[in-house]
Chains A and B, each alone.
Chain A
């Protein structure tokens, strides 16, 4: 259940941003979670709702955007992989570039600005 420590790290980032912008609180937090990030989106959402209490994100809604794994191959293939195997589904080589799907990112943050 490392989702709890990831959420506490997320809340630290959110609170730092709220303070930096002299906002009152966070109202919406959008994260992008790769299928191969090692994070379970549902567990992350659960942990967020437990941990946000008493923070500047207490009223915030969490939006989790899931990102599938995308690769780019020398043969020109760009797209998803098959069976969790990081090889090109067209030409079979393993020397590919992973362009998405392993990340966990704080994408967007909406805040309420005080008077």
Chain B
């Protein structure tokens, strides 16, 4: 629709064209539409990514706990849980509306899944929309969802070498959150070295250290999300 084919050259019964088009241009297109819709509604969209069990849902719970209680209607969550409604239930139990995206066996969310899920959510009065992606440190990185910020959770037990081993995910991050900081005494996780490596992969990314258990770093994360 937007990108035009460039050169044409005929050779017998063969036609050669050079589309020079991103393989994901269809997804990018839809993501741009979602983004426009969120912008029109004044909603800030957050795409939360990270390995399975890196603490994404716990981070959302902690963020909810530090949000003014009377204003929880300003938050909404789309849950990209694989096959269960557990994560969505956890969010609902905290008093925040959550819509589950059943991804079946998908390894990432796509803009079309988000567009579909958004039909089932009332966005009236919502200011921040969180999308918890499928637990995976590779696949979700290149599928734009129309959100404004990409947050990548890397947990202390996973090890400080994760960013350099999964640089493509770090490249798309606006914020890298080192989660489960309360476990630092039990693991050889060098926060400074990890910060440095993240900086060398993507110097635009903010690095924050949080614990959903103690609440450490959560208000700083809220500030970063709203900036």
A41 CB within 8 Å of chain B? no
Q: Give the A-B contact count at a CB cut-off of 8 A.
A: 107
- Kindly state the separation between the CA atoms of A109 and B142 in the bound complex, as whole angstroms: 23
For residue A27, which residues in chain B have a CB less than 8 angstroms away from its CB? 14
The docked-state distance in angstroms from the alpha carbon of A89 to that of B135 is 33
> Bound state CA distance, A68 and B26, in angstroms?
25
Whether B139 sits at the interface, judged by CB under 8 Å, is: yes
Interface residue B179 (Cβ < 8 Å from any Cβ of A): no
Q: Is B201 an interface residue (CB 8 A)?
A: yes
Q: How far is the CB of B100 from chain A (nearest CB, A)?
A: 20
Any B CB within 8 A of the CB of A55: no
Could you tell me if A13 and B14 are in contact, using CB atoms closer than 8 angstroms? no
Which of B14, B142, B201 interacts with A85 by CB under 8 Å? B201
**Majority-rule SS of A interface residues:** mixed
Q: Tell whether B123 is near chain A: CB-to-CB under 8 Å.
A: no
Residues of B within 8 A of A2 (CB): 107-108, 138-140, 142-143
Would you call B164 an interface residue if the criterion is a C-beta within 8 Å of the partner chain's C-beta atoms? yes
CA gap between A66 and B121 in the complex, in Å: 42
Partner of A105, one of B15, B16, B22, B108: B22
Contact of B16 among A5, A6, A10, A109 (CB under 8 A): A109
Chain B contacts of A10 at CB under 8 A? 23
Among A86, A104, A105, A109, contact of B171 (Cβ-Cβ < 8 Å): A86
Question: Which residues of B lie under 8 Å from residue A6 when comparing CB positions?
Answer: 23-24
Interface residues of B in 7-21 (CB under 8 A from A): 13-21
Task: For the complex formed, measure the closest distance between the CB of B150 and the CB atoms of chain A, giving whole angstroms.
Answer: 13
Interface residue total, chain A, C-beta cutoff 8 A: 37
Q: How far is the CB of B207 from chain A (nearest CB, A)?
A: 13
When chains A and B are docked, how far (Å) is the Cα of A26 from the Cα of B104? 32
Please, which residue of chain A has its CB at the minimum distance from the CB of B172? Answer: A38
Which chain A residues border B25 with CB–CB below 8 Å? Answer: 9, 13
Q: State whether the Cβ of B47 lies closer than 8 Å to any Cβ in chain A.
A: no
A contact residues vs B (CB 8 Å cutoff): 1-2, 5-6, 9-10, 12-13, 17, 20-21, 23, 27, 31, 36-39, 83-87, 94-95, 102-113
Give residues in B with beta carbon < 8 Å to A: 5, 13-27, 106-108, 110, 138-143, 164, 167-169, 171, 197, 199-203
**21 pairs, CB–CB < 8 Å, chain A vs chain B:** A1-B139, A2-B108, A2-B143, A9-B26, A12-B26, A17-B17, A21-B17, A37-B142, A38-B169, A84-B164, A84-B167, A87-B200, A102-B171, A106-B20, A107-B20, A108-B17, A108-B18, A110-B14, A110-B16, A111-B14, A113-B14
